[in-house]
């Protein structure tokens, strides 16, 4: 198997440690999503899909350093989030993003039984969104009954985890069924991906695809590709089914082949040129790099080193060209993230999930073993 270059990024890790300590002072108990021109992270409700990433960073820091202050800061997040389940809330298909880096890793690292219960509760919630006819997990709410999105590939891990800890195969079956749908309906032959696919909720038949956060229906939203790359890699890790590994490689090959010169992706690989410049998405780069590290580790050395080298190039560029290491007033870690370009929302900003996946990837290169996605 391809071996990660453990310890090779120690200097980068030390910068991360310094930055996270500053972030702890600035962010505190906020639930951040976006830091704009002023460099100050916002504070959203705990049912926002991004609420797990900041405590997820803290749990990684605790696991890597053993320093209790990180554990103490991360500890209450899953408890706080659970309280919203008994109120009117906006929880949806993204409970994996919320409870994997909080309750699940908390249970993994500490054995806390209440954290395990909360993780299983979130898995049950996600399983309840499964459409049996179409074999997909429903996205969002309201009138979007037959909608599913590529992001959900990343949330499957909480179902696989739930099946393992509960010894109940139902979660595994649902996760695998949705992963099959991702391969059939979301990943194109060339390895690019759709963001949104609509199904008839009664018959399960595919209706059409929508551009969503991509430039168009037939475009190639880079973060969507990162979700699929990483999500299919995880599906293979949990199942050992080679079709998921092959799907992950197909998306990875497309992603790598379409990277610009500095290896940090544009927000959409097929976006039209706007005023001579297409916005980047550092969050897509960070997520893809973390997924590529896992993909590389699952392959034989000769094959895996291609993906390992690509991940390193992305991470090196993010560190050198997109980091805020010398700006203590900026609460984010990476700049030039793109949230939703078609809506002209959150363009050229810091995104907490971009920060999370960068920390996660560098932690992997420095020996972190407790993979949670």
Task: Report pLDDT digits (tens) over 246-268.
Answer: 999 999 999 999 999 999 999 99
Q: How confident is the model at residue 226 (pLDDT cuts 50, 70, 90)?
A: very high
Strand order in the sheet with 206-210: 147-149, 196-199, 206-210
Instruction: Write the burial class of residue 315 (CB in 10 Å: 0-12 exposed, 13-18 middle, 19+ buried).
Output: buried
Q: How confident is the model at residue 337 (pLDDT cuts 50, 70, 90)?
A: very high
User: What is the average per-residue pLDDT within 333-359?
Assistant: 97
Q: How far is the C-alpha of 356 from the C-alpha of 319, rounded, in Å?
A: 13
| Closest listed residue to residue 318, CA positions, set 345, 354, 349 | 354
Single out the catalytic residue among 9, 47, 78, 94: 94
Look at the chain and count its residues.
Answer: 373
- The C-alpha atoms of residue 152 and residue 56 are separated, in whole angstroms, by 18
Distances in Å between the Cα of 177 and the Cα atoms of 55, 93, 173 are 30, 15, 6
Task: List, as one string, the DSSP characters of 243-285.
Answer: HHHHHHHHHHHHHHHT--TTS--BSBTTPPP-TT---B-HHHH
Q: Is the pLDDT of residue 2 over 70?
A: no
Q: Is 190 a catalytic residue?
A: no
* Residue 326: predicted pLDDT: 92
Confidence tier at 325 by pLDDT (50, 70, 90) = very high
Dist. CA 340–CA 342, nearest whole Å: 6
Distance of CA 270 to the CA centre of its chain: 22
pLDDT for 56 beyond 70? yes
Instruction: Return the pLDDT at 273.
Output: 63
| Segment holding 137, helix H or strand E | strand 136-137
Judge whether residue 207 has pLDDT over 80. Answer: yes
Query: Would residue 218 show up in a list of annotated catalytic residues for this protein?
Result: no
Catalytic residue among 9, 47, 78, 151: 151
Answer yes or no: pTM beyond 0.75: yes
Banded model confidence at residue 181, pLDDT cuts 50, 70, 90: very high
């Amino acid at each position: 198997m391809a071996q990660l270059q453990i310890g090779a990024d120690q200097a980068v890790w030390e910068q991360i440690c310094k930055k996270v300590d500053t972030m702890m002072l600035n962010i505190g108990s906020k639930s951040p999503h976006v830091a704009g021109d002023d460099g100050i992270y916002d504070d959203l409700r705990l049912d926002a899909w991004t609420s797990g990433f900041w405590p997820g960073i803290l749990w990684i820091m605790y696991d890597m350093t053993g320093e209790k202050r990180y554990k103490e800061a991360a500890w209450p997040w899953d408890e706080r989030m659970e309280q919203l389940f008994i109120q009117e809330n906006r929880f949806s298909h993204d409970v994996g993003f919320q409870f994997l880096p909080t309750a699940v890793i908390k249970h993994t690292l500490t054995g806390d039984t209440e954290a395990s219960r909360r993780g299983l509760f979130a898995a049950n919630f996600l399983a309840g969104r499964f459409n049996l006819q179409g074999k997909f997990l429903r996205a969002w709410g309201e009138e979007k009954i037959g909608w599913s999105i590529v992001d959900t590939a990343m949330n499957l891990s909480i179902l696989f985890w739930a099946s393992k800890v509960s010894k109940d195969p139902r979660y595994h079956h649902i996760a695998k069924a949705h992963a099959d749908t991702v391969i059939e309906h979301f990943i194109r032959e060339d390895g690019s991906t759709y963001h949104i696919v609509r199904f008839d909720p009664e018959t399960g038949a595919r209706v059409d695809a929508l551009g969503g956060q991509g430039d168009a229906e037939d475009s190639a939203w880079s973060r969507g590709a990162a979700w699929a790359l990483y999500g299919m890699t995880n599906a293979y890790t949990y199942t050992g089914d080679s079709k998921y590994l092959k799907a992950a490689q197909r998306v990875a090959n497309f992603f790598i082949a379409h990277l610009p010169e500095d290896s940090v992706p544009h927000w959409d690989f097929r976006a039209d040129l706007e005023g001579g410049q297409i916005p980047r998405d550092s969050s897509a780069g960070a997520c893809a790099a973390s997924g590529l590290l896992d993909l590389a580790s699952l392959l034989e050395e000769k094959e895996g080193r291609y993906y390992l080298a690509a991940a390193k190039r992305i991470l090196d560029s993010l560190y050198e060209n997109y980091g805020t290491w010398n700006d203590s007033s900026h609460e984010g870690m990476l700049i030039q993230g793109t949230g939703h370009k078609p809506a002209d929302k959150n363009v050229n900003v810091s995104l907490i999930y971009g920060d999370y996946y960068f920390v996660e990837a560098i932690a992997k290169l420095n020996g972190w073993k407790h993979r949670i996605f």
